[in-house]
C-alpha cells in the first residue's frame, strides 16, 4: 500500500512558482488601465483647463478602483 502512495506522489507535478508568474502577468492589465486613465485625464486637462480639479479627483478615484482589483488578485493568488 505504501509503495502505491509513493508511486503516485512521484508522478504528481507541483507548480509552486506559477502563482507568482501568473500574478506578474496579471499586473499588466491594471498597468495598462492606469496608463490609459492618466493619459486621458491629462488630455482632458489640456482641452479644458478649468475642469482640471474635477478631472484630477475623478482620476484618483479611478486609480483607486483599478488598484483595488489588482490587490484582490494578489490576495486571491495567495489564498488559492
**Nearest-5° Cα angle at 50, 45 to 48:** 40
* CATH code: domain of residue 71: 1.20.20.10
Half-sphere exposure of 4 (CA within 13 A, CB side): 1
Residue carrying the nine cell digits 488598484: 67
Q: Are 45 and 55 in contact (CB under 8 A)?
A: yes
Q: Is residue 9 part of a domain?
A: no
Domain of residue 58 covers 17-79
Number of domains within the chain? 1
| Phi, psi values for residue 46, rounded to 5° | -70, -35
Q: Is residue 75 part of a domain?
A: yes
Is pTM beyond 0.85 here? no
**Nearest-5° Cα angle at 53, 50 to 54:** 95
Q: Is residue 2 part of a domain?
A: no
* Tens digit of pLDDT at every position of the chain (80 positions): 667 666 666 555 666 777 778 778 888 888 999 999 999 999 999 999 999 999 999 999 999 999 998 888 888 877 77
Q: Is residue 60 part of a domain?
A: yes
Amino acid at each position: 500500500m505504501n509503495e502505491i502512495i509513493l508511486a503516485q506522489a512521484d508522478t504528481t507535478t507541483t507548480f509552486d512558482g506559477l502563482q507568482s508568474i501568473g500574478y506578474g502577468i496579471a499586473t499588466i492589465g491594471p498597468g495598462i488601465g492606469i496608463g490609459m486613465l492618466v493619459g486621458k485625464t491629462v488630455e482632458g486637462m489640456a482641452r479644458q483647463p478649468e475642469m482640471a480639479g474635477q478631472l484630477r479627483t475623478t482620476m484618483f478615484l479611478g486609480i483607486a478602483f483599478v488598484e483595488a482589483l489588482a490587490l484582490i488578485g494578489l490576495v486571491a493568488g495567495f489564498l488559492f
